[in-house]
């Protein structure tokens, strides 16, 4: 008798746990679907979560939902040495066809994603801007072309940090 | 108040080159003021550039974009005399818009 109660308790606790796990899986998949639909629709919503990510892999995944491969068709123009980390000129362009997006990440910054640009029909696959860099860091340019991601990386040495920007 | 946005858009052939300069503090939230208190984040999140009522370029920015941001890009289909509308919104909900003529 005693043992059957014990068993019942075990079963019910297990089923509760399974229930929780099932809800978690369903919820997570739901969020994932929501994200990819939002990306596919290319709406003009600000990608808040991508800008909060600490690592470049997480930021790229949050922004595009996939990973990038290195390509020499992504051109990243940034100085070898930046005397002022508060204003580092960075330009990205690409010779790839069907470019739909360009993102720029600074790996040593508190949040790696610095800027993401949507290249709408008619716009050239090229952008220039100025970024802040906390310290010497790799700068990564990510280009989305034909639904795939390509990247280029360059190290920029910073002699005076840009957080005082 | 004068606009926070300055735009130069130049058409040459089929391509229009756009340069925009926006006055904004772009506070990252990591910097302390003279009293040692953190300055709260205050930065532009989105810049939309429209031509002929349609967006041609959208910039999503984090606080790592430099103070008084500069942006340069190009698009096809613009003509001299066309209107080009530039608008930004920041994380505090402030915004500004400027319509410039393509030169």
Whole-number pLDDT of residue B2: 78
Please indicate whether residue A21 or residue B98 has the higher confidence score (pLDDT). B98
Tokens encoding B86: 């530039």
Q: In this complex, do B31 and A163 lie within 8 Å of one another by their Cβ atoms? A: yes
CATH of the domain at A79: 2.60.40.2470
**Helix or strand or coil: residue B67?**
coil
Total domains in chain B come to 1
Whole-number pLDDT of residue A43: 60
Interface pTM, i.e. ipTM: 0.94
Q: How far apart are CA B95 and CA B63, in angstroms?
A: 16
> A60 and A102 share a domain?
yes
What string of H, E and C letters represents the secondary structure of chain A?
CHHHHHHHHHHHHHHHHHHHHHHHHHHHHHHHHHHHHHHHHCCCCCCHHHHHCCCHHHHHHHHHCCCCEECCCEEEECCCEECCCCCEEEEEEECCCCEEEEEEEECCCCCCEEEEEEECCCECCEEEEEECCCCCEEEEEEEEECCEEEEEEEEEEECCCCCCC
Q: In this complex, do A132 and B71 lie within 8 Å of one another by their Cβ atoms? A: no
Total domains in chain A come to 2
Q: Which domain holds residue B53?
A: 5-101
For residues A114-128, give the mean pLDDT.
96
Chain A with chain B: Cβ pairs closer than 8 A: 109
The answer to whether residue A164 sits within a structural domain is no
> A77 and A127 share a domain?
yes
The answer to whether residue A163 sits within a structural domain is no
CATH of the domain at B33: 2.60.40.10
The answer to whether residue A47 sits within a structural domain is no
> A63 and A31 share a domain?
no
Q: Which residue of A has its CA nearest to B55?
A: A120
Whole-number pLDDT of residue B67: 96
Closest CA to A123 of B85, B75, B34, B23: B75
Please indicate whether residue A4 or residue A66 has the higher confidence score (pLDDT). A66
Q: How far apart are CA A149 and CA A66, in angstroms?
A: 8
Provide, as residue numbers in chain B, all residues whose Cβ is less than 8 Å from the Cβ of A106. Answer: 64
CB-based contacts of A150, cutoff 8 Å, min separation 6: A68, A69, A70, A71, A73, A74, A94, A96, A142, A143, A144
Query: What confidence category does residue A40 fall into, taking pLDDT thresholds of 50, 70 and 90?
Result: very low
Whole-number pLDDT of residue A15: 55
pLDDT for A94 beyond 50: yes
> A118 and A65 share a domain?
yes
> A35 and A1 share a domain?
yes
Q: Which domain holds residue A9?
A: 1-41
């Amino acid at each position: 008798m005693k043992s059957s109660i014990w068993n019942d308790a075990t079963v019910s606790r297990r089923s509760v746990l399974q229930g929780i796990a099932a809800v978690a899986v369903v919820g997570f998949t739901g969020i994932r679907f929501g994200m990819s639909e939002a990306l596919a629709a290319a709406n003009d919503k600000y990608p808040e979560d991508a800008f909060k990510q600490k690592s470049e892999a997480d930021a790229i995944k949050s922004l595009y939902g996939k990973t990038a491969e290195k390509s020499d068709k992504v051109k990243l123009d940034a100085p070898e040495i930046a005397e002022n980390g508060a204003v580092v000129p960075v330009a990205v362009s690409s010779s790839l066809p069907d470019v739909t997006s360009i993102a720029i990440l600074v790996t040593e910054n508190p949040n790696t994603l610095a800027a993401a640009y949507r290249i709408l029909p008619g716009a050239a696959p090229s952008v220039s801007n100025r970024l802040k860099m906390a310290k010497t860091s790799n700068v990564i340019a990510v280009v989305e072309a034909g639904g795939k991601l390509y990247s280029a990386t360059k190290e920029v040495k910073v002699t005076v940090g840009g957080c005082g920007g | 108040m004068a606009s926070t946005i300055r735009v130069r858009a130049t058409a040459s052939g089929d391509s229009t080159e756009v340069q925009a300069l926006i006055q904004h503090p772009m506070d990252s939230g990591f910097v302390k003021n003279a009293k040692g208190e953190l300055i709260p984040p205050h930065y532009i999140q989105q810049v939309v550039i429209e031509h002929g009522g349609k967006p041609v370029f959208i910039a999503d920015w984090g606080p790592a974009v430099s103070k008084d941001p500069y942006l340069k890009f190009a698009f096809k289909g613009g003509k001299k005399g066309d209107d080009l509308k530039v608008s930004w919104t920041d994380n505090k909900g402030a915004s500004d818009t400027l319509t410039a003529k393509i030169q």
